[in-house]
Structure 1
Amino acid sequence: MAAVFQLDVLAASVPFFQGKCVSAVIPVTDGEYGVLAGHSNAVGAVCAGELRFETENGEHRRAAVAPGLFKIDGDRVLLLLDAAEWPEDIDVNRALRARREAEEELRQKRSMAEYQLAQGNLARALNRLRISGRM
């Protein structure tokens, strides 16, 4: 039997997933961060992307996640995220609408702060569409 660790994912301070896992792959700014049991302690930033993990019973799961933080401490991995969604729970029409709105915001001449906000909104919408299988 493979070694396991405790994975706790909190989205907007609400438990999204809690359970024993064999592995996890966390989206980070420079790619992906893989975790196995016995991983060295670490803290880092999570970016919008796809969280993948394998539970102790061999189930492979994935979720669309928004930015946040991760902490690895012993055999516990904690993710504190702005949002997380299972692929089957993603509202594709809402994500498409958010994509169109963000693209329109990017086309308009706005302040740098508004431009960066629109870029983040577009990245989240595209991520949700990709994870849902609609892109």
Structure 2
Amino acid sequence: MSEHLQVELVAADRTVWSGEATMVIARTTEGDVGVLRGHAPMLSLLTEAVVEIAEADGGIVVAAVDGGFLSVAGDRVSILSERAQLAGEIDADEARRELEAARAHDVDDPREAERRIRLAEARIRATEKAS
């Protein structure tokens, strides 16, 4: 039996990251959650936020997710999102422009504008945490 978590971060179009980790931190609709080995099984909705994965070798993986699901079962963690980007894949300037556009309410639906704001902020935080 492994002494680590088996973690998969999956977007609709690809596996973004997969490997062994010591901890996962994610933001669910109920609040932030940290997952270590032996965590109780759970299934939660993710919000547009940053996910942090502490790799078994000591590195940290930082990604921005566009909502989705977090599943924990038997030391396996699955993070499933429509869109997920590693911090290194994010253009911080583009994310700042997206944030400005979202704050300018360039869409009619206020809930969609709020979702876009949260996603742009998550993308910016991911780049800042990774640097």
TM range (shorter): 0.7 to 0.9
The answer on 1:131 being equivalent to 2:129 is no
Letter in 2 for 1:46: L
Two-structure CA RMSD over aligned residues (Å): 2.0
Specify the structure having the higher radius of gyration (Cα).
Answer: 1
- The one-letter code matched in structure 2 to 1:128 is R
Distance in structure 1 (CA, Å) of the matches to 2:87 and 2:13: 20
Residue number in structure 1 paired with 2:67? 67
Query: Which runs of no fewer than 5 residues in structure 1 stay unpaired?
Result: none
Aligned-residue offset at 1:13: 4.3
Q: Is the 8 A contact 1:90 1:128 kept in 2?
A: yes
Question: SS in structure 2 opposite 1:130?
Answer: helix
User: Within 2, Cα distance between the matches of 1:115 and 1:17?
Assistant: 32
Q: Deviation digits for residues 25-77 of structure 1, max 9, x if unmatched?
A: 11112321111112111100111111112111121222122200011111211
TM-score, normalised to structure 1's length?
0.84
CA contact (8 A) 1:10 1:81 kept: yes
Normalized per residue, the structure richer in strand is 2
Contact 1:29 1:46 in 2 (8 A): yes
C-alpha separation in 2, matches of 1:131 and 1:79:
16
- Three-state SS of the structure 1 residue aligned to 2:104 is helix
Report the counterpart of residue 80 of structure 1 in structure 2: 80
Indicate the residue corresponding to 2:92 in structure 1. Answer: 92
1:76 partner amino acid: R
Q: Does the alignment pair 1:29 with 2:29?
A: yes
Contact 2:16 2:86 in 1 (8 A): no
TM-score, scaled relative to structure 2 = 0.87
Q: How many angstroms apart in 1 are the aligned matches of 2:42 and 2:30?
A: 16
- CA distance in structure 2 between the partners assigned to 1:122 and 1:65 by the alignment: 13
